[in-house]
Structure formats: C-alpha cells, structure tokens
Structure 1
Amino acid sequence: MDLRRLRYFLVLAEELNFTRAAHRLHIAQPALSQQIKALERDIGAPLLERNSRGCRLTAVGEVVARETGELLAHVAASQERIRAAVGGQRRQLRLALTRSARGGPVDALLTEFRARHPDVDLVVRTGWTSHNITELLAGRLDAAFVRPPLDGEGLECRHIAREELLVAVPAEHPLARERRITRGQIAAEPVILWPRENAPGMHDVISRQLWPDGGPRIVREEPDDEQLLLSVAAGVGIAPVPEGRARALRIPGVRLKHVTAPMPTVDLALAHRPAGAAPALQGLLGLVGTLLDE
C-alpha cells in the first residue's frame, strides 16, 4: 500500500477538513482528494463521510487511521535506526500534541526547541490524551502533551500551563448578550461535548467545575473542537472549550463567554515515561523548566 497516501490520509484524519489538511501537506486540495479516493479504491471501502462542514471518519476509516499511525511510527523508528547504523548523527524525538492545545505555549515551546536543538528531528503527531497515553506506554512516543489528571498510568507529567475554560453559545442565544454567565444559567442547557473516552480526566474536571449538581445534559458528541463549535453555531447547544483553542478557531455565529467565579480552568502537561529519558527528551524537559522559570 502507498505510504504517501497513508500519510496524507492520517493528516486528513487529524484535521477532518480537506482545506486545512492540504495546507499542512503543502499540496493542492484537488490533489489531496484524488489521493484519498485512490486509497479508498486500494482498500475497497469508503474511509470518509463528506459533508458541508468537512468530513467524518467511517468505521473503516477509524481503523485505518489508527493502524496508519502505528505503521508510520514504526517506519520512522526504522529509518532512525538505519541512519544510526550508517553513522548518522541526528537524533529523533517522537512527540504527540493533544488536539485541544494547538497553538499558544505548545507551538512556542516547539519553535524554541527546534532553534536550540537543530540536530534533533522532531516527529510530531496529534491525538487525544487517551490515545497519546496508549502510544507512550507502548513505546511508540517519547513524550506527549496531555490534559491531566491522568489515572494511574505510571507516567511522569510536567505542568505546562493552566487555561481558562470558556462557554461557547450560539450568537442568537439569550446568553450571548450576557457579559458573564453563571453555572445556574447553563445547568439545563443542551450541551455539545467530545466523547469521555478521549480524555476522561479532563472530561470529569469540566463537568465538576461547570455542572457541579449533576453533570451536563449532553445532546451531541463531536470528534474535535472545530466540529463542536460548528454545532454551536448551528444552534444545537452550548459547549465548554479551552480559551486558546476557541479563540484560534474563530467560528462565525459563536459567542465565547466567561463564567463567574470561581473561574473554571483546564491544565496542560507534558507526559513521558519515568525511566531513562533519552538526551533529546532531556533537552525538551530542560527547556520546559527554563521557560516556566522565565
């Protein structure tokens, strides 16, 4: 099977949007569409359900995305071992980002790391916290940005940032006129959220902070923050979103609201296995400490 097509599909599975995926891959959108259709022909089944807002993975597409991530990680590791065997001096750091933390301190940290460690190849992927933890424990990653708390995974976590949690409401909703909203005002509102298994700790933290008297009334689950905010814009319900991600997406028809005290927050951390950190990972952890001190 064509590895290039699989790489294209994996980026599209992360973005769920042809325009953004094509931009990341530095190819034209029609060319990306042709490659994905060719991959579907190779596999013999549709991988995506296309719609006006982007696309969703089919059941087969979910399996292909998961297996492709593992396959490409093995390919990258093999390439690194081959380079080392022939005397290559470059090191590699396999790193995963969490979907809800794109931009902000994470991007700044990686930019600074690349500048200080030009001899290290960063192999970066994006996934939900639970998937990133699985990959870490399996040895297919060196470190991953995650949303704590984590439950008994045996990993070390370095705190990176604390972020305010906003509530996204439809532009025509009565709450859109409020400067700040209370927990009582959203207690019975229909809520859009992502599946709990994606990041159980973060999901529970959000529920406890915003809906302390029984949890949210979830009416729809979406795979990522962009789809979640598009559902808000369509009037399906309201949604909690970390401030940085919500403001970076800038979805029309959505108003972002602060919640009255106590301010709800979510944390961002860098997780890694506790023993035997490779030199490249030690460099990243050292940089985290330096930037936090500054």
Structure 2
Amino acid sequence: MELRRLRYFVVLAEELHFTRAAARLHIAQPALSQQVRALEREFGARLIDRGAGACTLTQVGAVVAAEAAVLLAQADAARERIAAAARGQGGQIRLAYTRSARGGRVDALVERFRAQNPLVEVLPETGWHAPNVAGLLAGRYDAAFVRPPLDDPGIGWRLVDIEELRLALPVGHPLARLRRISREAVAGEPAVMWPRENGPGMFDRIVAQVWPSGGFNLIRYEPDDEQLLRAVAAGGVLAAVPEGRAKALRLRGVVLRRFTPPVPTVDIGLAWNERTVTPVVRRLLATLEEL
C-alpha cells in the first residue's frame, strides 16, 4: 500500500471535491482520480460515490479515511524520529560513567545534553576506566567517561575536567591537624588504593604525583573510592582521592586535606570509538565544547 495514495485520499475525504483536493495536492485532477481508482482496486471496494465534481464517502471509504489519517500521522512521526536521529537529535546513547567521577562538570555536561536533546534516550551504566574502554572497543557503549592518559588505538577522547587530589585521613591522624600536607609527610604512611588494573594510567599518575620520591606504602586494596574512604574512616590508612568524589561521599570519621604545591591532579575525559562514532555522540561532544 502506497502512503502517497492514502495521503491523496485523506485530502479528498476532507475536501469531498476532486478539483479542490487536486489543487491542495498540487497535482492534476485526472491524476488524483487515477490514484483513487487504484486504491479502490487494492481494497476491492468502492470508496467514494462520484458526483459532478463533488463526491461522498462510502461506508468503506469513511473507514479508510479514518485509518489512513492515523497511519499517516504515525508515519510522519516515525520519519521525524529517524531524521532527528540522523541529526543526532533523537535515538539513544549508551553512556558509561566512571566510578571515580560523578558530580561537577560530568553531571553538568550530561544534564545540559539531556536538556538540549529531549528526544535522545540516555542509557547510563557505571564502571571503571579499563572496562569502559573495553566496552567502547566492543561496541557496548557509544561514549564513556574515562581517566586519561589513554593509549588505545581507535579511541578518541576530549578533556572534560581536571580534578584536584585530596588526601583522606582518619580524624585522629596527626596529619589531620595540618591544613596542607607535604609529599615528605605522606611517604611511608600506610595507604589504601583500588587495584591498578581498574585504571592503570590514573593509578600511576596518582602515585607519581603524591609519592614522587618513593615511599608508596600500599597495604590494602579496596574496589572503589567509597570503600577507600570507609577504610580510612576505620583508621590506620590514608588515601589520595579525587576532590569531587571525596566531597560527594562525605563519610564520617574522614577529613580531607589539600597537598602543598604543586597540587596533584587527575583528568576526566569523554571517550568514543572512532570507528563507530554516531551523530548523537557528536552532539554530546558539541555540548562539551559549549562548556
């Protein structure tokens, strides 16, 4: 069934006059008559009773006109959704957050993107840097927040934010009395950290900045920043944690202190697979540029 014929018939059903309907459709009247006859042959029933220029709908014709109006509205809406997806304004985006970065510019970016693209369905997940990159390469995600540096071929990324590292200490720790902590004071202190395979680049960057002369005394692993801070609250260990995550968690028994200059930092980036980048991802990147 041709949608064009149904569209012609709906206009004829509204006008009930071949000449006026043909004028609205910008076609010749004989062409309109030909399309209506073809539709009648397709349905095997007379759809209109013809008069001198004017016409009336048969019982079957009234049903066809009503159903065709619904079908055409659905087709137009579907066409618009497809066009919006092609422009990056519709469809969906499978987006992976990294466990160590929520709040701040990350959430601001996603919320602004949602506001600008209400037709896009955001399908979020949360993982560590390494699984997020693996998900991009495997096609499970369209975009992912990651912790640079990245050296994965085929993965593009842009900087979203630079976060200061804070030192998390138990409330009763002697260093908690200081406003800023030197690297020398931290050397040799028992530390807790998440496993390096979760984010090798970020792990190495933290160690290189906080313990540049050695003395990284790692005695305990925990799976994520929340568990790191819980271990700190329990006493006996300290941890270097991104400022945004540490402030968002705010666990009792933990104090946060800044380091003496140069202030250690970690990056948060937005990454995508260069081979499968979609129009929706390009719109997310455009939103990032606006920020």
Q: Same fold (TM over 0.5)?
A: yes
The range that moved more, 155-164 or 212-221, is 212-221
RMSD of aligned Cα (Å): 1.6
**Structure 1 runs not aligned, ≥5 long:** 1-85
Question: What is residue 231 of structure 2 aligned with on the other side?
Answer: 231
Code of the residue aligned with 1:119 in structure 2: it is: L
Question: What is residue 274 of structure 2 aligned with on the other side?
Answer: 274
**Structure 2 runs not aligned, ≥5 long:** 1-76, 82-89
Residue 178 (str. 1) matches residue 184 (str. 2): no
Cα displacement (A) at 1:154: 2.8
SS in 2 for 1:167: strand
Residue 103 (str. 1) matches residue 103 (str. 2): yes
**How far apart, in 1, do the equivalents of 2:253 and 2:216 lie?**
22
Conserved? CA contact 2:166–2:241, under 8 Å: yes
Cα displacement (A) at 1:276: 4.8
Question: What is residue 247 of structure 1 aligned with on the other side?
Answer: 247
Cα displacement (A) at 1:267: 0.3
Alignment deviations for residues 193-240 of structure 1 (CA, whole Å, 9 cap, x no partner) = 000000000000000001112251111111111111010010030000
Question: What is residue 119 of structure 2 aligned with on the other side?
Answer: 119
C-alpha change, 1:153 and 1:237, in structure 2 (3 Å) is: farther
Conserved? CA contact 1:207–1:215, under 8 Å: no
Question: What is residue 289 of structure 1 aligned with on the other side?
Answer: 289
Alignment deviations for residues 94-129 of structure 1 (CA, whole Å, 9 cap, x no partner) = 110000111111111111111100111101000000
Question: What is residue 9 of structure 1 aligned with on the other side?
Answer: none
Conserved? CA contact 2:169–2:232, under 8 Å: yes
**How far apart, in 1, do the equivalents of 2:223 and 2:265 lie?**
21
**How far apart, in 2, do the equivalents of 1:278 and 1:186 lie?**
45
Conserved? CA contact 2:95–2:143, under 8 Å: yes
SS in 2 for 1:101: coil
Conserved? CA contact 2:188–2:215, under 8 Å: no
**How far apart, in 2, do the equivalents of 1:153 and 1:218 lie?**
31
Question: What is residue 202 of structure 2 aligned with on the other side?
Answer: 202
List aligned pairs for 1:1-294, cutoff 5 A: 87=78, 89=81, 90-214=90-214, 216-291=216-291
The range that moved more, 170-179 or 215-224, is 215-224
Conserved? CA contact 1:151–1:201, under 8 Å: no
Q: Percent identity?
A: 54
Question: What is residue 35 of structure 1 aligned with on the other side?
Answer: none
Code of the residue aligned with 1:150 in structure 2: it is: L
Cα displacement (A) at 1:139: 0.7
**How far apart, in 2, do the equivalents of 1:153 and 1:186 lie?**
36
Alignment deviations for residues 43-68 of structure 1 (CA, whole Å, 9 cap, x no partner) = xxxxxxxxxxxxxxxxxxxxxxxxxx
Q: TM-score of the superposition, structure 2-length normalised?
A: 0.69
**How far apart, in 2, do the equivalents of 1:117 and 1:215 lie?**
49
Code of the residue aligned with 2:169 in structure 1: it is: V
Conserved? CA contact 2:170–2:237, under 8 Å: yes
Matched residues, number: 207
Question: What is residue 8 of structure 1 aligned with on the other side?
Answer: none
Alignment deviations for residues 27-85 of structure 1 (CA, whole Å, 9 cap, x no partner) = xxxxxxxxxxxxxxxxxxxxxxxxxxxxxxxxxxxxxxxxxxxxxxxxxxxxxxxxxxx
Q: TM-score of the superposition, structure 1-length normalised?
A: 0.68
**How far apart, in 1, do the equivalents of 2:260 and 2:154 lie?**
35
Cα displacement (A) at 1:87: 4.5
Cα displacement (A) at 1:258: 0.5
**How far apart, in 2, do the equivalents of 1:275 and 1:196 lie?**
28
Conserved? CA contact 2:154–2:275, under 8 Å: no
Alignment deviations for residues 268-289 of structure 1 (CA, whole Å, 9 cap, x no partner) = 0001112352111111000001
Alignment deviations for residues 142-178 of structure 1 (CA, whole Å, 9 cap, x no partner) = 1100000013343111101101000101000000001
Cα displacement (A) at 1:140: 0.8
Conserved? CA contact 2:180–2:257, under 8 Å: yes
**How far apart, in 2, do the equivalents of 1:214 and 1:177 lie?**
24
Alignment deviations for residues 220-266 of structure 1 (CA, whole Å, 9 cap, x no partner) = 11111111101001003000000011011000111101000111000
Code of the residue aligned with 2:123 in structure 1: it is: V
Code of the residue aligned with 1:111 in structure 2: it is: E
SS in 1 for 2:118: coil
Conserved? CA contact 2:183–2:210, under 8 Å: yes
SS in 1 for 2:100: helix
